[in-house]
Homo-oligomer: A and B are copies of this chain.
């Protein structure tokens, strides 16, 4: 089999890049259903109490709160959906597609904060309930990088990555279309939801590889 010199050089370049990246294992973070909220919406459903920190997350500045809400749709509801702080400019509920099917809502895959076309949903707390017309999404899988990690691994912000997970387990899987997000606020972590984690038999802290 003969390759044109340009194609051979392109294939060799892609292989070299994949091998380079694969040398840096990326910890997996499994995102369970949760919500982010504006300070105003918080007031409506929780009243005047401030959210209380339960535990810090790997991403700097983010924390899971003690407070949870009920999220409901035409077919069902999800209870004890936890707040992830800090405040956001738009209220947002992130669920798995399995969760969305329990609610009976056809929620789209979106990057966090990209709420164009997000589905309507009802959020209920101890002090009240809000109906948000564009809040429910299934999170797009994504990899967080610090600028130093991105440089070391030769990754650009916004790039679509391929990530191999679950190697050595019963459900090894290669996820295409994993969005690279680079920020000096981020730590190296591959975020998947519970459907993706269970499809590849993953738990928090398992190691994955860009390929």
Identify the A interface with B (CB < 8 A).
Answer: 1, 8, 12, 96-98, 101, 108-109, 140-141, 170-177, 192, 194-196, 198-201
For A8, the chain B residues whose CB sits under 8 A away are 1
How many of these chains are in the complex? 2
* CB neighbours of A173 from chain B (8 A): 173-176, 199
Tell me the bound Cα distance from A109 to B173 in angstroms.
14
Give the Cβ gap from A160 to chain B, nearest Cβ, in Å. 10
Closest B residue to A202 by beta carbon equals B97
Q: How far is the CB of A142 from chain B (nearest CB, A)?
A: 12
Nearest opposing residue in chain B for A172, CB measure: B176
Q: Which of B12, B171, B174, B196 contacts A109 (CB 8 A)?
A: B171
Partner of A174, one of B97, B140, B174, B201: B174
Looking at the complex, which one of B1, B96, B171 makes contact with A177 (CB distance below 8 Å)? B171
| Interface pairs (21), CB distance under 8 Å | A1-B8, A1-B12, A96-B198, A97-B198, A98-B98, A98-B198, A108-B170, A109-B170, A109-B171, A170-B177, A172-B176, A172-B177, A173-B173, A173-B174, A173-B176, A192-B199, A195-B195, A195-B198, A195-B199, A196-B199, A198-B199
Given contacts A97-B201, A98-B194, A172-B177, 12 further A-B contacts (CB under 8 A): A96-B98, A98-B198, A141-B171, A171-B175, A171-B177, A173-B174, A192-B199, A195-B195, A195-B198, A195-B199, A196-B199, A199-B200
* Bound-state Cα–Cα, A133 to B81, Å: 33
Please indicate the chain B residues that have their CB under 8 angstroms from the CB of A101 in the complex: 198
Question: Shortest Cβ distance from A200 into chain B, in angstroms?
Answer: 7
